[in-house]
A and B are shown apart, each in its own frame.
Chain A
């Protein structure tokens, strides 16, 4: 089908493995050796997990260090935080700017309404009592 030939991946839609040219043309030994090394690491971790899982004397939960590291990285951000240009700009854009903009917008809107009420020209919207 011509649509599959023209398929272009995008950030939220990846290329299917069957359309990946690397699978068919990249037969270099380095690529294959890398895959083998990854498989070796994966098998070691699988073995560790199975040993702990099937241990009849185990009474506690199996602790996952990768999970601990992920939680630590997500929550404890301050020690490695550095006020660089990007982080300061983000802090200003998301922390300071909304408050300032909101203040000015609401203030001008309210001042306009107040002046109209003082002048007597304010038309109340959704007025239920006629």
Chain B
């Protein structure tokens, strides 16, 4: 590719005089990798456009299903099933093992959400309804019991604490000269 580019530049450079900017730019633009046809385009309306788009994305025309045309801006990008990369076979020899993806495979529109560090859509040990029932049931019952405990407390009967020395008269800053009134904490 570099030799091709150099070959294009040589006529521009050996034109005799110093090469003008336009010839150099024109020469440099001709050597390109992929073309603009490989990029996503507008929503396909006819079956031929759909077949061409499926071929562009390396998919079967029966598998190819673009996003609905509601002005959102996805164009003809295919709508792949919402499966995370967690679900793909860990023992298959992928070209990119950490992403579990092969080269050239059409990427999901939300691919960066479905990588193995993020959203996981793989099958769960129990189905969602059972898990939801168990979790919220447990939390609901626990919260209900705590609430009932606040409303109807249940503990051993206990009286106010009784202190000696006339309810700690001196310790509480009472006057040592004055005689405190006697405090009787018992009943006979």
- Co-assembled chains A and B: yes
Known: A45-B103, A64-B103, A66-B58. A13 touches B73 (CB 8 A): no
Which of A70-78, A93-101, A118-126 forms contacts with chain B?
A: A70-78
Is B39 within 8 A of A72, CB to CB? Answer: yes
Is A3 within 8 A of B126, CB to CB? Answer: yes
Residues on A with beta carbons closer than 8 Å to the beta carbon of B34: 63, 65, 68
Name which residue of chain A comes closest to B34, CB basis.
Answer: A65
Would you call B87 an interface residue if the criterion is a C-beta within 8 Å of the partner chain's C-beta atoms? yes
Is B105 within 8 A of A13, CB to CB? Answer: no
Name which residue of chain A comes closest to B40, CB basis.
Answer: A73
Q: CB-defined interface of A46-73 with B at 8 Å, one 1/0 digit per residue?
A: 1011000000000010111111111011
Cβ-neighbour of B109 out of A11, A65, A74 (below 8 A): A74
Would you call B49 an interface residue if the criterion is a C-beta within 8 Å of the partner chain's C-beta atoms? no
The number of residues on chain B lying at the interface, defined by a beta carbon within 8 Å of a beta carbon of chain A, is: 44
Would you call A41 an interface residue if the criterion is a C-beta within 8 Å of the partner chain's C-beta atoms? yes
Cβ-neighbour of B1 out of A3, A9, A60, A70 (below 8 A): A60
Within 8 A of A (CB), among B60-84: 60, 62-63, 70-75, 77, 82-83
Return B109 CB to nearest CB of chain A, in Å. 7
Would you call B161 an interface residue if the criterion is a C-beta within 8 Å of the partner chain's C-beta atoms? no
Known: A3-B130, A12-B128, A34-B62. A83 touches B104 (CB 8 A): no
29 A-B pairs with CB atoms under 8 Å apart are A6-B127, A8-B127, A8-B129, A10-B128, A11-B82, A12-B119, A12-B120, A41-B60, A49-B102, A49-B104, A62-B103, A63-B33, A63-B34, A64-B104, A66-B105, A66-B106, A72-B39, A72-B40, A73-B75, A73-B77, A77-B72, A78-B73, A80-B42, A80-B73, A83-B71, A84-B70, A86-B71, A87-B71, A87-B73
Q: A66-B57, A70-B77 are in contact. List 18 more A-B contacts (CB 8 A).
A: A12-B119, A12-B121, A13-B122, A13-B128, A16-B123, A37-B60, A38-B63, A45-B102, A48-B104, A49-B104, A63-B34, A64-B103, A70-B107, A73-B74, A74-B109, A79-B42, A79-B73, A81-B72
Chain A positions within 8 Å of B, measured between CB atoms, are 3, 6-16, 19, 34, 37-38, 41-42, 45-46, 48-49, 60, 62-70, 72-74, 77-84, 86-87
7 closest Cβ contacts across the A-B interface? Answer: A84-B71, A82-B71, A77-B73, A49-B103, A45-B104, A10-B128, A81-B73
